[in-house]
Structure 1
Amino acid sequence: MINMWDILTSFTDVKTILLTLVFILVIGYVISMQERSGIPPGPSYWPIVGNMLDIRGKRVGKRHKYYAELQEKYGDIFRIYFGNQLLVVLNDFESIEDAFVKQKDLFSSRPVDKLWGIQQTVKDGKGVLWASGQEWKDARRMTVRALRDLGVGKTTLEDRIKEEAKIILDYITACEGKPFKVHDIMMKATTNIISTVVFGKRYDYSDLDFLQIIKVLEINFKGEMGVFSPIHQFPMLRFIPVLAAKILTARNSVEKVKQFIADRIEEHKEVFDKNDIKDFIDVHLDMCASGASDVTSEGNTKRTILSLFLAGSDTTATTLDWALLYMILHPEVQKKCQEEIDSVVGNIRMVGWSGKSKLPYNEATLLEVQRIANAVPNTVPHTTDKDAVVKGFLIPQGSLVYANLYACHLHSRYWKEPLQFKPERFLDDTGTISKQTAATLIPFSIGPRICVGESLARMEIFLFFTNLLQRFSFSTSGSEKPSTDGICGVSMSTPEYTLTATPR
């Protein structure tokens, strides 16, 4: 026979347990919402997931606009939560300089242990991008040396860029006025420049190994989240079938490229001559022979090479993509650039790097492209080795810290009419580049962790851009003007558009 008292007692016990669980969750929520005194202000957030959901949905690809909303409400330094991880965003030049330059000893580390996905990719070596401390200094020294001493015989880095520019010019000529996409060809060209730095040779655009490298770069840059992906805080997400398939595809692609790099290292070992250092791999082998440091492990070198491709290909190609987009939207600027090139260089010889100072309007135009387009919208994350203070705000030890370059470059404190495309803003009364104005333009970041390939990128952007305008005039291929509403992912890519080129 059923005992009603037992049933009621059982029901009461279950109810008590549920109420207790709810109480515990409420208490846990309240505790989790308690923040240390003095940290930057920011929006409310959810337990466990923090503010992750805020940059999903309609804000996918628009993270820069979400940050703009927060900056307007909370000021130039604000905080959000990436899961339960505190993330501090620096939005003005003063705070970025304070952290990355004035307090460089506190802010020069990378938060590898805070990002699960990064931990997985750097198990065999952190390379120059993700290393910290002495390991990073050694990797950077090796990379800087390779860029400084680069040369095959008497071929300079400038010569290699010009040779690649000729191939682009031939490609555009072959289009015969038909519409084409800039980014595709620029991606192959800039990746080939990195190939010459790393391997000492360029590859045909149809080479399968070369295309595999391009594929890996596209996988890394097409995702809209990058280091903002939820998987870094919730690695269990990798077991979701759709995500698992994407992760496997990316991993297999990277492994193929790493094997390709390993094969090139073996080839270099067979012909290595310490008196004839030709490329990055030779620098690696020379440092190994001299017993430099642990940074010369093959795993670390492969990771550094991958970092060079990641840092030096898409971002440079994207900057050039934006440059030509703004040229077709501002034909009067394009014409002024061409007139300056015609006056100084003419149309017989190619534009050279040594002539940059004589082409200030072209240089100002490229600076303005970097400012308004922001191909790199934010820096790779930094972290603090111990508690620090920036502009009066506490940055607790272990926080993720980002410089929002997009906000800095569009800040009305530094730029009059910041949303307007005006190359003249970078020119002084004498028509030369204003150092004071250019000082707050930091597309490669600032401080010790400034992009190691800055000089290479600047040379590529200038030589490709000026030699393209010397030979062609560019215009939109459609009846409507392309949008400049960028898509914010790992890089700030242009909306889809095509253009046409008319020989000059």
Structure 2
Amino acid sequence: MTARVSTALRHMKDDEHDFTPVLQAQVHNGRRQGVAQSMAELAANGIGSIIAGTDTTGVALAIGMRSIYLDEAIRSRLHAELKTIWETESNHPTLPTLENLPYLRACVRECLRFSSPISGRLPRITPQGGLDFAGYYIPEGTTVSSAVYLMHYDEEIFPEPFRFNPERWLASVGRDTSRQEQCLVPFSTGSRGCIGLNIAQAEIYICLATMVRWLKGSRVLDSDLKTLVQFTRSVPGGLKVELVEAE
């Protein structure tokens, strides 16, 4: 990574085009603010840009796939929907086509809610003078935080939160899903939201669609979901499902 950063910096000095916009932004922002950045810092951020999202996206897929294969009604309904737009393996549908499938979209949302891969808190301290929020005054210097996991499992917003239920996202069955959409924040929100949101969702759509379209579970070997919740959520023992080819 250090060698890659050195090459990118050299190209930047020579005004050559280089596909490292994140690195360029970091260097330019540092110069503008008068903050010197060492090669070690730049390399560490480069590594973070590569590996960030691999475990969280993987956990969302693992927990989501296990939940789908545990419920044959969900799997078969999703499989039937995918068959309408994906007849042969070689004729892979585009991402926009997948995103427009109502039940697949509902399954992706439920995967993100049910797995809540970023489950820990990101504490913040209220500024000088305190803060008025929703009718409450929070004194300055107070540590405040919110946990995505607790939001996603709030039964007032998501009835039966411990049940994997894609239908909760289908407005066509007479539900108003606007509050749920507002409270689904697996990537956080606002200016501090995850910059990898789009690529992570694309990976989940493509992987989930491919697995369910062409493979079905013959046996879920891990019926009990045992996860470790720290800042991120992990599955220490893994999740094992035996798969066979689907029609």
Answer yes or no: same fold by TM over 0.5: yes
2:210 partner amino acid: N
Alpha-carbon RMSD across the aligned residues, in angstroms, is 3.2
Matching residue of 2:225 = 484
* Residue 89 (structure 2) pairs with residue 332 (structure 1): no
Distance in 2, Cα, partners of 1:501 & 1:325: 11
Matching residue of 1:372 = 114
- Residue 457 of structure 1 deviates from its aligned partner by 1.4
What per-residue deviation string (whole Å, max 9, x for no partner) do you get for residues 93-124 of structure 1?
xxxxxxxxxxxxxxxxxxxxxxxxxxxxxxxx
Which runs of structure 2 are paired with 1:101-140 in the superposition (5 Å)? none
Matching residue of 1:401 = 144
Structure that is richer in helix per residue = 1
Matching residue of 1:92 = none
What per-residue deviation string (whole Å, max 9, x for no partner) do you get for residues 341-387 of structure 1?
11123233224212133212111111112112211113433222232
Matching residue of 1:462 = 205
* Residue 4 (structure 2) pairs with residue 264 (structure 1): yes
- Residue 301 of structure 1 deviates from its aligned partner by 3.2
Distance in 1, Cα, partners of 2:175 & 2:20: 35
* Residue 245 (structure 2) pairs with residue 498 (structure 1): no
Matching residue of 1:354 = 96
CA distance 1:474–1:287, change in 2 (3 Å): farther
Secondary structure class of the residue paired with 2:144: strand
TM-score by length of 2: 0.81
Matching residue of 1:471 = 214
Secondary structure class of the residue paired with 1:344: coil
Distance in 1, Cα, partners of 2:72 & 2:63: 14
CA contact (8 A) 2:2 2:40 kept: no
Flag the structure with larger Rg. Answer: 1
- Structure 2: where are the runs of 5+ without partners? none
Matching residue of 1:381 = 123
Distance in 2, Cα, partners of 1:483 & 1:450: 32
Distance in 2, Cα, partners of 1:395 & 1:262: 44
Distance in 1, Cα, partners of 2:218 & 2:139: 50
Secondary structure class of the residue paired with 1:448: helix
Secondary structure class of the residue paired with 1:425: helix
* Residue 58 (structure 2) pairs with residue 323 (structure 1): no
CA contact (8 A) 2:157 2:179 kept: no
Distance in 1, Cα, partners of 2:99 & 2:158: 23
CA contact (8 A) 1:375 1:492 kept: yes
- Residue 442 of structure 1 deviates from its aligned partner by 1.0
- Residue 472 of structure 1 deviates from its aligned partner by 1.7
Distance in 2, Cα, partners of 1:363 & 1:472: 19
Q: How many residues are treated as equivalent by the alignment?
A: 241
Deviates more, 1:433-442 or 1:449-458: 433-442
1:444 partner amino acid: F
CA distance 1:291–1:495, change in 2 (3 Å): closer
- Residue 403 of structure 1 deviates from its aligned partner by 1.0
Secondary structure class of the residue paired with 1:442: coil
Secondary structure class of the residue paired with 2:140: coil
* Residue 28 (structure 2) pairs with residue 308 (structure 1): no
What per-residue deviation string (whole Å, max 9, x for no partner) do you get for residues 276-306 of structure 1?
3323466359848x96554683455334334
Matching residue of 2:167 = 424
What per-residue deviation string (whole Å, max 9, x for no partner) do you get for residues 451-478 of structure 1?
2221221112212221222232234353
Matching residue of 1:143 = none
CA distance 1:490–1:306, change in 2 (3 Å): farther
- Residue 416 of structure 1 deviates from its aligned partner by 2.1
* Residue 196 (structure 2) pairs with residue 453 (structure 1): yes
- Residue 315 of structure 1 deviates from its aligned partner by 0.9
CA contact (8 A) 1:364 1:433 kept: no
Distance in 1, Cα, partners of 2:107 & 2:131: 38
Matching residue of 2:187 = 444
Distance in 2, Cα, partners of 1:329 & 1:276: 49
Distance in 1, Cα, partners of 2:200 & 2:173: 27
CA distance 1:356–1:383, change in 2 (3 Å): farther
Secondary structure class of the residue paired with 2:103: helix
Secondary structure class of the residue paired with 1:500: strand
- Residue 443 of structure 1 deviates from its aligned partner by 1.0
CA contact (8 A) 2:5 2:42 kept: no
Distance in 2, Cα, partners of 1:482 & 1:473: 16
CA distance 1:285–1:434, change in 2 (3 Å): closer
CA contact (8 A) 1:344 1:358 kept: no
Distance in 1, Cα, partners of 2:177 & 2:207: 23
Distance in 2, Cα, partners of 1:301 & 1:389: 38
TM-score by length of 1: 0.43
CA contact (8 A) 2:170 2:177 kept: yes
Percent identity of equivalent pairs = 20
1:268 partner amino acid: A
Name segments (4+ residues, structure 1) moved above 6 Å.
430-433
2:6 partner amino acid: E
- Residue 431 of structure 1 deviates from its aligned partner by 9.7
Matching residue of 1:137 = none
CA distance 1:311–1:391, change in 2 (3 Å): farther
